[in-house]
Amino acid sequence: MMYKLSKAHILKKNSNFQTVYRVGKSYSNRMMVVYVLPQKVSERRIGFAAGKKLGNAVVRNRVKRVLREVYRLNQHKLIKNVDLVLMGRQAMVKADSVSAGKAFLNLCAKARILIE
């Protein structure tokens, strides 16, 4: 099982994020928000975000690191043709990766992007 997160699958441009925010559908719980945008190509792209309300740069980067790790460990459970943006919330600041993983899988099930 490959648990790699290649740079080619990461959303980087602001315009890509804005498209997912505007056109995509959002699902949230107290830890994170997942924005989902179905695509025609069979590649999954992912973006990670943490708003300024979470805290200083150190805190925001830690939240994004936890989000990246949660996605990396669970990416094989998700369908391919979709763009995702994971955005951390305040509860994520003190969360561990186990509870964040459960929250992520819960949102993916809600969004119906898990492989059956």
Q: Which domain CATH number covers 60?
A: 3.30.230.10
pLDDT of residue 31 exceeding 90, the answer is yes
Q: Is the pLDDT confidence value at 2 over 70?
A: no
Enclosing domain of residue 95: 12-111
Q: Which residues contact 70 (CB under 8 A, 6 or more apart)?
A: 86, 97, 100, 101, 104
Burial bucket for residue 102 (CB in 10 Å: 0-12, 13-18, 19+):
middle
Instruction: Tell me the C-alpha distance between 27 and 78, whole Å.
Output: 15
pTM of the model: 0.92
28 falls within a domain? yes
The total domain count for the chain is 1
The region, left, alpha or beta by phi > 0 then psi within -120 to 50, assigned to residue 95 is beta
Q: Which has more confidence, 114 or 2? A: 114
Is 70 part of any domain?
yes
The two structure tokens encoding residue 81: 């043709």
| 116 in any annotated domain | no
- Take residue 69 and report the two structure tokens written for it: 């790790």
Tokens of residue 108, six digits? 């993916």
Q: Is 35 contained in some domain?
A: yes
pLDDT score of 110 more than 70:
yes
- Is residue 7 domain-resident? no
**Does 4 reside within a domain?**
no
pLDDT value, residue 1: 58
Q: Residue 8: its pLDDT value, please?
A: 86
The closest of 9, 84, 78 to 43, measured between CA atoms, is: 9
Inside any domain, residue 6? no
User: Is 5 domain-assigned?
Assistant: no
